[in-house]
Amino acid sequence: MADITGKVVVVTAAAQGIGLASALAFAKAGAIVHATDINEAALADLAKTPGISPRKLDVLNDEAVKAAFAEIGRVDALFNCAGFVHAG
């Protein structure tokens, strides 16, 4: 990954899987990462990673999303991993 030092990145569904791997990769490349997920407990370990600020966020809640982005301010990239998997 290119050097993206100082860029502000928001990653949704960052507590596991592709979202987690992406948040870690962005931080390793120098970004300021806001790692979001509805699972606050699973985000706890990310708080120990330099460059990552975890925050609970339900992307289905419009008001919560607006409030989070207002608080974050400038965003250079959004990596949206949140989704829904149909069973069976």
Tens of pLDDT, residues 16-66: 999 999 999 999 999 999 999 999 999 999 999 999 999 999 999 999 999
Residue 18 belongs to domain spanning? 8-79
> Would the pTM of this model clear 0.75, i.e. be above it?
yes
Q: Is residue 85 part of a domain?
A: no
The CATH number assigned to the domain holding 23 equals: 3.40.50.720
Q: What integer pLDDT is reported at residue 1 of this predicted model?
A: 64
Annotate 28-64 with b (16+ C-beta within 10 A) or e (fewer). Answer: ebebbbbbbbbeeeebeebeeeebbbbbebebeeeeb
Give the distance, in angstroms, between the CA of residue 83 and the centroid of all CA atoms in the same chain. 14
Q: Is residue 2 part of a domain?
A: no
Q: Is residue 3 part of a domain?
A: no
Q: What integer pLDDT is reported at residue 44 of this predicted model?
A: 92
Residue 81 has pLDDT above 80, yes or no: yes
Between CA 56 and CA 43 the distance in angstroms is: 8
CB count, 10 Å around CB of 7?
17
The number of folded domains in the chain is 1
